[in-house]
Chains A and B, each alone.
Chain A
Amino acid sequence: MLARRRALHVTLHVLLVLLSTIYVVPFLWMVSTSLKLSGREITFPPQWIPDPVVWGNYYRAVTVVPMFQFLRNTLVVTITATCCGVLTASLAGYAFARLRFPGRDKLFAMCLTALMLPGIVTLIPEFLIFKQLTLLDTLWPLIIPWSLGGSAFAVFLFRQYALTIPLDLDEAARVDGAGAFRIWWSIMLPLARPVLATLAILSVIYHWNEFLRPLVYIHTPSLRTLAIGLALFKSEYLVEWNLMMAAATLMLIPILVLFFVAQRYFVQGIVMTGIKG
């Protein structure tokens, strides 16, 4: 029995090593290309170890297009939308979990239906609304919808979490004369820190990656976000694969750092959606 288990483990290790090689190679290829001298990346068959190693590609990748400008725009959108979104979503989630008001369950059911809605269905009228507000070609359309209640998913997740917080806590606060806002702010939010972290991470990644809406709304080059700026390498600098890979690597690094710092919350977010979904 033990020998069989051992044999199974060895086989699994061999298979997993093989498969994980396939999953890692694209990353290595990206980094390898990003360090090659211009012109050397287009040799066939390709070299794996760049010679010479050109770190300057990374500098050129962020200067050949105004990457810092794009970064600034992305940060403005990401930070504003995440802060406002997490706050308003938690406020709504708390109300759905704890307060009684007429129509609560119907409204919450509507919130859940929005989970199933493909985002593109609402994009056209949304575009027309921002056109009416003369906010096209600004960063506002990327911020406003998420600042009002985050996403349906965020409201749902916070509600589920708030339901697990002992009811005695808010009753005690009620007796002390605290109102709903006070309870939300000084009881719910501190206790819900893990779920807030998860929501914030999901939101940051979403806005960091968001491609469709900036593509639709932004035309002025100086207002582009990183995702759109990165796609520029394809159209305007198609021959320079090494710069493109350098830019792609740079865009991945913040997500990697976030992942290794807050791995727990990544997994938690997925598991919470998966198991309790």
Chain B
Amino acid sequence: MSAIARSRAATTVRRGSSLARKQAVEGYLCILPWLVGFVCFTLGPMVGALALSFTEYDIITPPDFTGLANLQRVFKDPLFYQSLGNTAYISLLSVPLQQMLALSLAMALNEKLKGIAIYRTIFYLPSQMPLVAAALLWLWIFNPDFGLANALLDKVGLPTLKWLFDVNLVKPSIVLITLWGGIGTPMIVFLAGLQGVPESLYEAAAIDGAGAWQRFRNVTVPMISPVIFFNLIIGVIASFQAYFTLVYTTTQGGPANASLIYIIYLFFKAFKDFEMGYASALAWLLFLVVLALTGIQFYFARRWVHYEGGAR
């Protein structure tokens, strides 16, 4: 043991408790700004939202305690079910499609092609487009009279469509937009995951006579399953809240509520109708749904997610 280390150890023993106290004080001081923010803008509001959800509150008159009335109202509210259905429709289509497209692209780009940097940039850039700008751009592309989408249909001799203004087409149109703007991030994450798979595993599989599909199924998927899992969780959580700007800017939930997604409905209830109590109940239900979905994903993850270095 060197002299310095010995003296340091001696100091630690002698001043152990006062040092610990000093470090505790320093620790609290360091986290103080974050803690204040957390209590005021996360924890407090969560409790506040829960409390508000048992009241009727229009901002002008004080909150009125109504017990479970909001909850009873939610379950009889046709727009609640419709908005939940719309959200499920869009998420169930867009999240898996995004992931599949992102994984396919990442695998193609992982083949050490020429020009990979250009392709990667092209597929990534739409995800960096400011959401309002992207929403307006797609509103213009899907314009029924002069839009690019209809111009292309017209060119190949197909009838033109109303896209975002058609009750039956508005949700698929939104999914299309999310496929353009939403694959950049998962693609980069997949690409990083794929680059971490050792080449030797593929070589060993090839020697054993595994075809391309078997190599994908038995090497790629297990090796990057934590990444797939991560992308799915993030994708689902994001899909419940990220489409606000897109839908608000393009359709505002229309036509005939066909694109009224849950968080647009919540927003209108809170900040247009000023039904803060009811909206808080909707907000907490959303939180519970997200929590449940994440829990379900974690439960099933144990069966298919493979972590290198044993179970975790």
Residues of A within 8 A of B103 (CB): none
Q: Which of B45, B137, B294 makes the CB contact (< 8 A) with A126?
A: B45
Cross-chain contact B31 with A107 (CB below 8 angstroms): yes
Cross-chain contact A16 with B108 (CB below 8 angstroms): yes
- Rounded to whole angstroms, the CA-CA distance of A95 and B46 in the bound complex is 25
Judge whether B168 is part of the interface by a CB distance below 8 angstroms: no
With both beta carbons as reference points, the residue of chain A lying nearest to B19 in the complex is identified as A174
Cross-chain contact A181 with B132 (CB below 8 angstroms): no
Cross-chain contact B33 with A123 (CB below 8 angstroms): no
- Rounded to whole angstroms, the CA-CA distance of A9 and B111 in the bound complex is 8
Also in contact, A120 and B241, with CB within 8 A (given A25-B148, A126-B41): yes
Also in contact, A259 and B125, with CB within 8 A (given A181-B26, A209-B130, A267-B188): yes
Also in contact, A248 and B24, with CB within 8 A (given A45-B155, A149-B33, A209-B131): no
Enumerate A90-139 residues with CB–CB distance to B below 8 Å: 91-92, 94-96, 99-102, 104, 107, 110-111, 114, 116-129, 131
Cross-chain contact B122 with A23 (CB below 8 angstroms): yes
Judge whether A76 is part of the interface by a CB distance below 8 angstroms: no
- Rounded to whole angstroms, the CA-CA distance of A127 and B267 in the bound complex is 12
Q: Which of A23, A209, A252 makes the CB contact (< 8 A) with B180?
A: A23
Also in contact, A121 and B287, with CB within 8 A (given A145-B41, A271-B192, A274-B192): yes
Cross-chain pair count, CB within 8 angstroms: 288
- Rounded to whole angstroms, the CA-CA distance of A41 and B140 in the bound complex is 10
Judge whether A30 is part of the interface by a CB distance below 8 angstroms: yes
Give the interface residue-count category, chain B.
35 or more
Judge whether B164 is part of the interface by a CB distance below 8 angstroms: no
Judge whether B244 is part of the interface by a CB distance below 8 angstroms: yes
Cross-chain contact B45 with A129 (CB below 8 angstroms): yes
Cross-chain contact A101 with B132 (CB below 8 angstroms): no
Residues of B within 8 A of A187 (CB): none
Give the distance to chain B from A168, nearest Cβ to Cβ, in Å: 11
Residues of B within 8 A of A251 (CB): 130, 132-133
Give the distance to chain A from B227, nearest Cβ to Cβ, in Å: 6
Judge whether A265 is part of the interface by a CB distance below 8 angstroms: no
- Rounded to whole angstroms, the CA-CA distance of A89 and B28 in the bound complex is 13
Give the distance to chain B from A268, nearest Cβ to Cβ, in Å: 10
Interface of chain A: mostly helix, strand, loop or mixed: helix
Enumerate B279-312 residues with CB–CB distance to A below 8 Å: 279-280, 283-284, 286-287, 290-291, 294
Give the interface residue-count category, chain A.
35 or more
Also in contact, A23 and B42, with CB within 8 A (given A149-B33, A155-B34): no
Residues of B within 8 A of A121 (CB): 45-46, 49, 283-284, 286-287
Judge whether A33 is part of the interface by a CB distance below 8 angstroms: yes
Q: Which residues of B contact A (CB under 8 A)?
A: 4, 8, 20, 23-31, 33-38, 40-46, 48-49, 52, 59, 105, 108-109, 111, 113, 115, 118-119, 122-123, 125-126, 128-133, 136-141, 143, 145-146, 148, 150-151, 154-155, 180, 185, 188-189, 192-193, 196, 227, 230-231, 234, 237, 240-241, 244-245, 248-249, 263, 266-267, 270-271, 276, 279-280, 283-284, 286-287, 290-291, 294
16 pairs, CB–CB < 8 Å, chain A vs chain B? A20-B119, A23-B125, A92-B31, A92-B34, A116-B237, A121-B284, A122-B49, A144-B41, A209-B131, A227-B131, A248-B130, A251-B130, A259-B125, A270-B189, A271-B188, A274-B231
With A227-B130, A227-B245 already in contact, 11 other A-B pairs whose C-beta atoms are closer than 8 Å:
A120-B241, A120-B286, A122-B45, A125-B52, A148-B38, A149-B36, A245-B137, A255-B128, A255-B129, A275-B189, A275-B192
Q: Which residues of A contact B (CB under 8 A)?
A: 8-9, 12-13, 15-16, 19-20, 22-27, 29-30, 33, 41-46, 88-89, 91-92, 94-96, 99-102, 104, 107, 110-111, 114, 116-129, 131, 144-145, 147-150, 152, 155, 171, 175, 179-181, 184, 205, 208-209, 211-212, 215-216, 227, 230-231, 233-234, 241, 244-245, 247-249, 251-252, 255-256, 259, 266-267, 270-271, 273-275, 277
